[in-house]
């Protein structure tokens, strides 16, 4: 099961792509692997991803209705960082968070390669929300992933914590992301120590379908956008993509995914 969806089901959600200076290496099997992002020239929020969970280790993606890579069991590779991502590599690379004890009702991941040339993309996904919560006392807890390009370094955000409190009367999420960075962003980043970067906050008013966007703010004059939605099947999850821009040109971007809990 991924994001509360069994094989044969579908999920989808917000999709963010950052264009810039990317470096690839060619592996022994002839496939290319993203190894570095040294600059970002622009971030595109106006995208969505649909993922058909065809069968165990088989995924068909669609980006903005224009198609996308299909990954098969033969394309599955050992994750370099040994984290909870399933990792597939063919002409494109796909990481998809294997939901379990940390997140049950949403997923997130990364896409790069031929379908998104000269860009690295992060997404959050789940099944559409059936109903919005109608009472207070609910909150979400989950994780963030993405990249921070700051001070001439590129860091991976994996393992950053996220909490969002829900106000049913206002249909509003108060989101708080505790962003931390790790070096070796496309290597064994999970084993590297995490360094605190900033706490980013936003208040997102949801529409009747459970989606919304808002301004995201952090320390040192950083500001940006966060956009996403609630998910729901057996439980309720959320997924958003986000970016922060600093006055000195530093940039942070990625995705969050989490589950709803009752206080």
pLDDT in tens, 204-241: 999 999 999 999 999 999 999 999 999 987 789 999 99
Q: Which domains does the chain have, with CATH numbers?
A: 10-125 (no CATH), 138-262 (2.40.160.90)
Task: Name 28's Cβ contacts closer than 8 Å, sequence gap at least 6.
Answer: none
Spatial distance between the Cα atoms of 16 and 242, rounded to a whole number of angstroms: 8
- Residues 34-74: tens digit of each pLDDT: 999 999 999 998 899 999 999 999 999 999 999 999 999 99
Instruction: Name the nearest CA neighbour of 145 among 90, 100, 95.
Output: 95
Q: What is each CA distance from 66 to 46, 61, 69, 114, 115, in whole angstroms?
A: 14, 10, 11, 14, 10
Which residues, 6 or more positions from 65, have their beta carbon under 8 angstroms from its beta carbon? none
pTM: 0.96
Distance between CA 49 and CA 64 in Å, rounded? 6
């Amino acid at each position: 099961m991924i994001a509360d969806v069994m094989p044969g089901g579908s999920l989808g959600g917000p999709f963010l792509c950052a264009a810039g200076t990317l470096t690839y290496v060619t592996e022994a099997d002839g496939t290319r692997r993203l190894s570095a992002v040294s600059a970002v020239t622009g971030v595109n929020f106006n995208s969505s991803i649909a993922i058909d969970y065809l069968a165990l280790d088989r995924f068909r993606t669609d980006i903005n209705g224009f198609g996308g890579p299909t990954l098969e069991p033969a394309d599955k590779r050992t994750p370099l960082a040994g984290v909870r991502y399933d990792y597939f590599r063919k002409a494109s690379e796909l990481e998809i968070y294997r939901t379990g004890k940390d997140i049950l009702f949403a997923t997130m991941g990364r896409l790069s390669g031929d379908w998104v040339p000269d860009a690295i993309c992060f997404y959050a996904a789940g099944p559409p929300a059936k109903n919005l919560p109608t009472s207070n006392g609910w909150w979400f807890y989950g994780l963030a992933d993405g990249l921070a390009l700051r001070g001439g370094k590129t860091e991976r955000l994996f393992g950053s914590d996220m909490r969002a409190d829900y106000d049913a009367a206002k249909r509003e999420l108060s989101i708080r992301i505790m962003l931390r960075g790790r070096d070796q962003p496309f290597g064994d980043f999970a084993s590297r120590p995490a360094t605190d970067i900033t706490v980013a906050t936003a208040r997102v008013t949801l529409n009747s379908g459970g989606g919304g966007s808002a301004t995201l703010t952090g320390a040192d004059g950083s500001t940006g956008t966060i956009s996403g939605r609630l998910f729901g099947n057996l439980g309720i999850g959320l997924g958003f993509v986000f970016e922060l821009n600093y006055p000195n040109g530093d940039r942070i971007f990625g995705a969050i995914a989490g589950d709803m809990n009752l206080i």
